[in-house]
């Protein structure tokens, strides 16, 4: 059996390619839309992708199941468990508790593990060539390393009302009946790692075992002692606020993500013509440099999304493809970097990619107003201080009188932010605040300042004052 963890650190998301070398067949579980990565890995191993499946209707990225199936002819398998609100809206081969997908000698046995979402499945992986016993458990957003999936996400970002309590009850039962009932030696491979908003305190290592979680996870004693109330209280306490693009991901993944197909070559555009189009408000331009460079020399009317480990996530904070429909042009070093940006934008359905430029020489530029931590103490009295950290960060410590709004919610709450105020944005270090501030400026907020160095600089200045 071939087993490969396909992990993306930007989304903190893990998918899998599992294959039978005897038959040459493979299945992809929880794949992303960057199809080529899966095709290349399968070809490298001499495998053909014949099947795709997913653990649940994802909230943080757009599923690649349809994209991979379109590229390979693979069959799509998906859950038909849960209530009517969470049935897939496109043609799939339906899975239920106990259903099996056979890929050569390899068997994936579906286990209905609701709680994070009503339809959620986990998969026991069996190498049928050697044993009938499972060797691994793909738990999706059911069990993470040291944590479990959050049951409040439907309330938090998808329009649900008090679904968290039913979800917590289901999650408790899933842990009791379909996790702790398994042998200690089984490997556990979750769908996310540290940095994902799909849980509260996810571990940084990629996998664990049933036995390790039984002995060390915070929730284990609650389940062993049948303390459902204690479990629910501990689980729901301190869950992070979620980016609001999660609601769109749920809707689009349920109805079936658009299939992009062959996207063609990356186009390098003429910088002078692109600058003119931006001046005419005919395109959406994304400046991808560092925060330092952006502050010194920002492109007027651009959105700021720094290229790096959080590019896909931050882009989804800044761009809503349901309303931001203009062609997207990015600043990139070369075509290879631009292709990576295009792929990462597609992770969350930002598909209207038109091309890239490599120079900003023709563009109108402006310095971004910033205030240092010492001057901020005086300026904050007359300003609308917008703290774009998470609610948990805010509750830990914050500027008195500040307004908290997660950076991933600003784009969808513009009406709640006073347009005539002097706004000072900050996060912990500066990156998220720069993204959020660029959203405000792009949408007509003319007096937006950023706290240089973020709250960490403020905290240090305040401590030594």
Round to whole Å and give the CA distance between 399 and 425: 11
State the chain's mean pLDDT as an integer: 94
What secondary structure letter does DSSP report for 263? -
pLDDT for the residue numbered 252: 96
Residues 360 and 380 in one domain: no
pLDDT digits (tens, 9 = 90+) for 354-395: 999 999 999 999 999 999 998 887 777 789 999 999 999 999
Task: Judge whether residue 403 has pLDDT over 90.
Answer: yes
pLDDT for the residue numbered 338: 98
Residues 168 and 290 in one domain: no
Of 255, 281, 296, the residue that ends a domain is 255
pTM reported for the whole predicted model:
0.93
Average pLDDT rounded to a whole number, residues 260-284: 96
Residues 308 and 338 in one domain: yes
Q: How many structural domains does the chain have?
A: 3
Average pLDDT rounded to a whole number, residues 234-262: 92
Assigned domain for 80 exists: yes
Task: Judge whether residue 464 has pLDDT over 60.
Answer: no
Q: Are 295 and 367 in contact (CB under 8 A)?
A: yes
Residues 31 and 66 in one domain: yes
Strand 106-112: give its sheet, edge to edge: 100-103, 106-112, 121-127, 134-140, 187-190, 208-209
Residues 233 and 333 in one domain: no
Residues 289 and 339 in one domain: yes
pLDDT for the residue numbered 198: 63
What secondary structure letter does DSSP report for 185? T
- The mean-pLDDT minimum among 192-196, 295-299, 416-420 falls in 192-196
pLDDT for the residue numbered 465: 46
pLDDT digits (tens, 9 = 90+) for 42-90: 999 999 999 999 999 999 999 999 999 999 999 999 999 998 888 999 9
Q: What is the CATH number of the domain that holds 438?
A: 3.40.250.10
163 confidence band (pLDDT: 50, 70, 90): confident
Of 330, 348, 366, the residue that ends a domain is 366
Residues 416 and 304 in one domain: no
Task: Provide, rounded to the nearest whole percent, the portion of the chain with pLDDT above 70.
Answer: 97
Residue 22 to residues 48, 49, 178, Cα–Cα distance (Å): 12, 14, 30
pLDDT digits (tens, 9 = 90+) for 134-145: 999 999 999 999
pLDDT for the residue numbered 85: 84
Assigned domain for 46 exists: yes
Q: Which residue has the higher pLDDT, 260 or 200?
A: 260
Assigned domain for 263 exists: no
Assigned domain for 264 exists: no
Assigned domain for 79 exists: yes
Label residues 264-275 b or e (16+ Cβ within 10 Å = b): eebeebebeebb
Crossing angle (nearest 10°) for helices 65-72 and 35-44: 50
Average pLDDT rounded to a whole number, residues 7-16: 93
Residues 95 and 207 in one domain: yes
Residues 85 and 198 in one domain: yes
- For CA atoms 368, 372, 377, 378, the dihedral sign is negative
Residues 61 and 151 in one domain: yes
- The mean-pLDDT minimum among 24-28, 34-38, 61-65, 157-161 falls in 157-161
Q: Are 168 and 118 in contact (CB under 8 A)?
A: no
pLDDT for the residue numbered 159: 67
pLDDT digits (tens, 9 = 90+) for 295-308: 999 999 999 999 99
Q: Are 346 and 34 in contact (CB under 8 A)?
A: yes
Assigned domain for 10 exists: yes
Residues 49 and 70 in one domain: yes
Round to whole Å and give the CA distance between 296 and 217: 46
Task: Judge whether residue 285 has pLDDT over 60.
Answer: yes
Q: Residue 74: give the domain boundaries.
A: 2-255
Residues 199 and 302 in one domain: no
Round to whole Å and give the CA distance between 179 and 111: 10
Q: Are 455 and 400 in contact (CB under 8 A)?
A: no
Residues in the chain, total: 465
Q: Are 411 and 244 in contact (CB under 8 A)?
A: yes
Of 316, 350, 366, the residue that ends a domain is 366
Average pLDDT rounded to a whole number, residues 173-199: 90
Assigned domain for 261 exists: no
Assigned domain for 288 exists: yes
Round to whole Å and give the CA distance between 286 and 303: 5
Round to whole Å and give the CA distance between 404 and 5: 37
């Amino acid at each position: 059996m071939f087993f490969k963890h396909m992990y993306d650190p930007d989304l903190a998301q893990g998918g899998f390619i599992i294959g039978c070398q005897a038959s040459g067949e493979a299945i992809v579980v929880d794949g992303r839309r960057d199809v080529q990565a899966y095709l290349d890995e399968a070809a490298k191993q001499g495998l053909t992708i014949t099947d795709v499946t997913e653990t649940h209707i994802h909230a943080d990225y757009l599923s690649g199941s349809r994209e991979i199936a379109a590229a390979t002819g693979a069959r799509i398998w998906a859950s038909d468990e849960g209530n009517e609100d969470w049935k897939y809206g496109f043609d799939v081969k339906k899975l239920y508790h106990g259903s099996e997908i056979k890929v050569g000698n390899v068997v994936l046995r579906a286990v209905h593990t609701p709680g994070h979402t009503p339809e959620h499945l986990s998969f026991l992986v069996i190498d049928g060539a050697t044993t009938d016993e499972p060797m691994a458990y793909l738990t999706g957003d059911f069990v993470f390393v040291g944590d479990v999936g959050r049951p409040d996400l439907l309330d938090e970002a998808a329009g649900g009302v008090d679904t968290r309590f039913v979800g917590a009850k289901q999650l408790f039962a899933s842990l009791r009946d379909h996790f702790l009932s398994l042998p200690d030696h089984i490997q556990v491979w979750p769908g996310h790692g540290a940095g994902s908003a799909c849980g509260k305190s996810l571990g940084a290592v990629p996998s664990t075992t049933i036995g390790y979680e039984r002995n060390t996870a915070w929730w284990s004693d609650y389940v062993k002692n049948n303390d459902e109330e204690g479990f629910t209280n501990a689980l729901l306490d301190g869950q992070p606020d979620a980016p609001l693009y999660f609601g769109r991901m749920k809707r689009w993944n349920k109805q079936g993500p658009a299939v992009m197909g062959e996207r063609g070559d990356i186009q390098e555009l003429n910088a002078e013509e692109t600058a003119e189009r931006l001046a005419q408000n005919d395109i959406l331009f994304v400046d991808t440099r560092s925060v330092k460079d952006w502050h010194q020399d920002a492109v007027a009317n651009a959105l700021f999304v720094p290229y790096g480990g959080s590019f896909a996530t931050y882009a989804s904070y800044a761009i809503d493809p349901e309303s931001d429909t203009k062609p997207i042009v990015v600043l990139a070093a070369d075509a290879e970097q631009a292709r990576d940006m295009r792929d990462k934008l597609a992770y969350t359905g930002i598909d209207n990619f038109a091309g890239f430029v490599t120079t900003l020489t023709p563009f109108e530029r402006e310095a971004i107003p910033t205030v240092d931590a010492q001057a901020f103490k005086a300026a904050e009295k007359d300003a609308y201080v917008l703290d774009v950290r998470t609610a948990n960060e805010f509750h830990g410590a914050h500027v008195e009188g500040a307004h908290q709004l997660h950076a991933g919610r600003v784009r969808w709450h513009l009406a709640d932010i006073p347009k005539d105020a002097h706004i000072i944005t900050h996060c912990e270090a500066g990156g998220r605040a720069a993204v959020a501030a660029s959203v405000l400026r792009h949408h007509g907020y003319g007096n937006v300042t950023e706290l240089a160095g973020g709250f960490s600089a403020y905290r240090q200045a305040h401590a030594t004052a």
